[in-house]
Amino acid sequence: MAATATEVTTLETLIEKAGGPVRLLRSSNLGPYIFPGIPTEFTNFRDEGRSWKQSVALLEQSYHMFELHVRGPEAIQFLSQFSVNNYSKFPPLKGKQIVLAAPDGNLLADAIVFRESEDFFRIVGAPFASDWLLFQSLSTSLNVTVEINPSWTVLEAPRDVFRFQLQGPNALPLVQEVSNGTLPDIKFFGIGEFQIAGQTVRALRHGMAGTPGFEIYGPWDSQQAVRAAVEEAGVKYGLFKVGANAYPLSAQESGWMAMPLPAIYAGEDTRPYREWLSPYHLESIGSLGGSLVSDRIEDYYVDPIEVGYGGLIDWDRDFVGKEGLRAKADNRRRTKVTLEWHDDDVAAVAASALFGDTPSRYVGFPLPMYSTWQSDLVRLNGKPVGVSQWSSYSPNARHVLSLALVDIDQAEPGTELVLDWGEPDSQRATVDNHAVKQIRVRVAPSPYFEKVIKTKA
């Protein structure tokens, strides 16, 4: 029987009571990461998902992401200790994807860091990066202060800033219009300050959906005027507000492997962290699901290089996880690809789940995932060659796609593989009785679509 949060006080004791991290996570009934504060659909997920390719999409970010505020004259030194990045050219009003390696060199988390001023940094994303850095701040001797601003899954209350993205081919003309001549020339991953409806906002220039875009944010109390101006002007640009169903599809198409399992569940180096994490942290209550079944939690980990972050690593200095990451760099085995699921097989599995005598695991649309960390086995001629993780139906590709790590010699686009769909011997009440079925998949590039995100404003 799975341990419950009321019986124990930390992630470490939860693991001990469950009989190991795999048993703990594979018995959790928690589903996929949720996006609070917005409806599942404003219109329908298909039109919403097509909008960032065809017109312009508004992707809401005010509610589901955590923020960690790091302040102080030694904030850069603090971030440098625990991330792999190079900070030598990181002035104020710049953004950066921050990558945190665990002590063993596997990936712990990634997030976006906004350098708002000389001594103020925002870490924005899923909770794993914020939790790790907050924990490390409790014992640092550096001159920094750290404060967490949780998502609405933890506390439904006004936040420091509102935040949304405008993505798609019409994002630039829309922002130019609503800013009324105040929009500066913002370079890729630069931050600019301007006016919308008389309110001062900032925007990070980047493209989460693989298309040109802005991540706009400003004081929480000013958001109504800003939103009204954007939505009114957006009508002629084909603006669609994106609901919770379509939001995760943008990461899929852009090739960003969202929320791999953080590499914290085994080893003495991370034991103090596990003893600090409460039973209510996502690291403690999250679920591990899918057809990959192993007693070793390490078989579910990924490393920064294989998911595409090798170019961000600063090898010329020390950071947590460097030694382990160097060993992985010298012995590369897997690489990230997109898997395009065979349409007929998906339809057959979906029909079997609803009407078959031997039902398969249900395939939900647009998100087939049914756990926090999905890990499905990928085979070639019966031999395991990879693991499929983040999956979704893409209205733009008109296929189900997943991001996967496969053996390098099987990563050529066009390679035909097989994905095992289901969860053998599931211990989770959210998974119905079913038979594991095979779905043919074809290797495609990651990102699936060519990115065009560095266009100047």
Name which of 222, 213, 220 is nearest 175 in CA terms: 213
| SS3 state at 320 | coil
Is 215 part of any known ligand binding site?
yes
Amino acid at 385: V
End-to-end CA distance of the chain: 56
Per the DSSP assignment, residues forming a β-bridge with 97 are 112
Task: Give dist(CA 446, CA 377) in Å, integer.
Answer: 19
223 burial (CB, 10 Å; 0-12 / 13-18 / 19+) is: buried
| SS3 state at 217 | strand
* Burial letters 58-80, b for 16+ CB under 10 A, else e: bbbbbbbbbbbbbebeebbebbb
Q: How far is CA 71 from CA 78, 112, 130, 339, in A?
A: 10, 16, 14, 41
Task: Give dist(CA 382, CA 384) in Å, integer.
Answer: 7
Task: Give dist(CA 369, CA 20) in Å, integer.
Answer: 23
Amino acid at 328: K
Confirm if 172 and 456 have CB atoms less than 8 A apart: no
User: How would you list the strands of the sheet with 120-125, edge to edge?
Assistant: 94-101, 107-117, 120-125, 66-71, 145-149
Would you list the DSSP string of 389-408?
A: EEEEEETTTTEEEEEEEEEG
Phi, psi (rounded to 5 degrees) for 165? -105, 145
| Residues of each annotated binding site | 215
| Residues of each annotated binding site for substrate | 215
